[in-house]
Structure 1
Amino acid sequence: MNQFFTQKEALQKLEHFCAYQERCHAEVVTKLYSLKMSPDEIDTIVVQLIENNFLNETRFACSFARGKHRIKSWGRIRITNELKARQISSTNITLALKEIAEEYETTFDQLAEKAWNSILEKNTLKKRKKFCDYMLRRGYESHLVYDKVTTLEKES
């Protein structure tokens, strides 16, 4: 595709891109490079997107954290790592994690119960390992996971 865009066309395209779904700065810059825009044009367009409130890193981080926690049941560690990979500032990551604070424990407990009951392993050590690996992969803190596995083991 050898199509070249004027700065105005690229801005309109990116406004639509950002309006459709929350985006982080890195995604927008990558998209602009794919449209073969120069670094100066990219800077100008990003500034315009921020000024017109199409691009807002705090809003992106909060939306991302809420979505991944509610839909995929991710824990704080996984959300933090994913946001860092998208070059989100630590201030915005902290704000994003506050978004999920209220429901965090409930989601964790529900996911843990479901995971524990779905593991059919008879050997207790293997079952513990499978459970812990699963919960840690989901991004939950190790002290929470190990406390929960002990509780679940006593109950069963």
Structure 2
Amino acid sequence: MEYKSLTFNEIKQKLVNYCVYQDRCHYEVEQKMREFLLIDEAKEEIMLYLLKENYLNEERFTRSYIRGKFYIKHWGRNKIKMNLKQKQVPEKLINSCFDEIDENDYTKTIKKIYEDYFSKQKGLKEYQKKSKTMRYLISKGFEYEKINDIFE
């Protein structure tokens, strides 16, 4: 597809659709804009429009991202935070949005993942199964202290 032939309004509409389809962060929209040959003023105008019309809302994006990655993908806070930072979401915003995760759900999820993974470890000594399961939970982004507290 030849993007050059699109008018400013067509490009603007494409970016509106991009934001409507799924919540986006500023970084993703800026990346998407690179596909179109826009001057900085045009990029800025589109960005302001998306913000003003609430198509682009970094807090809403962060909240839905946190909910999705925890409740659907079962990621821990560390992995979620790292991925949001890669999307250049400010740390202060990330931390203020973690209330999207219910503390009881968080604990239950760690226990469930622990039990599921632990029970699949065959032919290992108890302490090996435990340390392998701990490593797995840490790789999913759960905090070591949190995992440890639950299994003390």
TM-score (normalizing by structure 1): 0.88
State whether structure 2 residue 62 is matched by structure 1 residue 48. Answer: no
1:2 counterpart residue number: 2
Contact persistence 2:110–2:147 (CA under 8 A): no
CA RMSD of aligned residues (A): 1.6
The whole-number CA distance in structure 2 between the counterparts of 1:119 and 1:72 is 21
Secondary structure (helix, strand or coil) at the match of 1:34 reads coil
- Once the two structures are superposed, residues 39-60 of structure 1 have per-residue CA deviations (whole angstroms, 9 ceiling, x without a partner) of 2211110110000110000000
State whether structure 2 residue 132 is matched by structure 1 residue 130. Answer: yes
Corresponding residue pairs, total: 150
The whole-number CA distance in structure 2 between the counterparts of 1:96 and 1:115 is 29
Q: Give the alignment of 1:73-152 within 5 angstroms.
A: 73-102=74-103, 103-148=105-150, 150=151
The whole-number CA distance in structure 2 between the counterparts of 1:128 and 1:2 is 55
Secondary structure (helix, strand or coil) at the match of 1:113 reads helix
- Return structure 1 stretches of 4+ with deviation > 3 angstroms: none
1:39 counterpart residue number: 40
Where do 5+ consecutive residues of structure 2 fail to align? Answer: none
The whole-number CA distance in structure 1 between the counterparts of 2:129 and 2:89 is 36
2:59 counterpart residue number: 58
Cα displacement (A) at 1:9 = 0.9
Percent identity over the alignment is: 33
TM-score (normalizing by structure 2): 0.90
The whole-number CA distance in structure 1 between the counterparts of 2:142 and 2:52 is 36
Where do 5+ consecutive residues of structure 1 fail to align? Answer: 152-156
Cα displacement (A) at 1:23 = 0.5
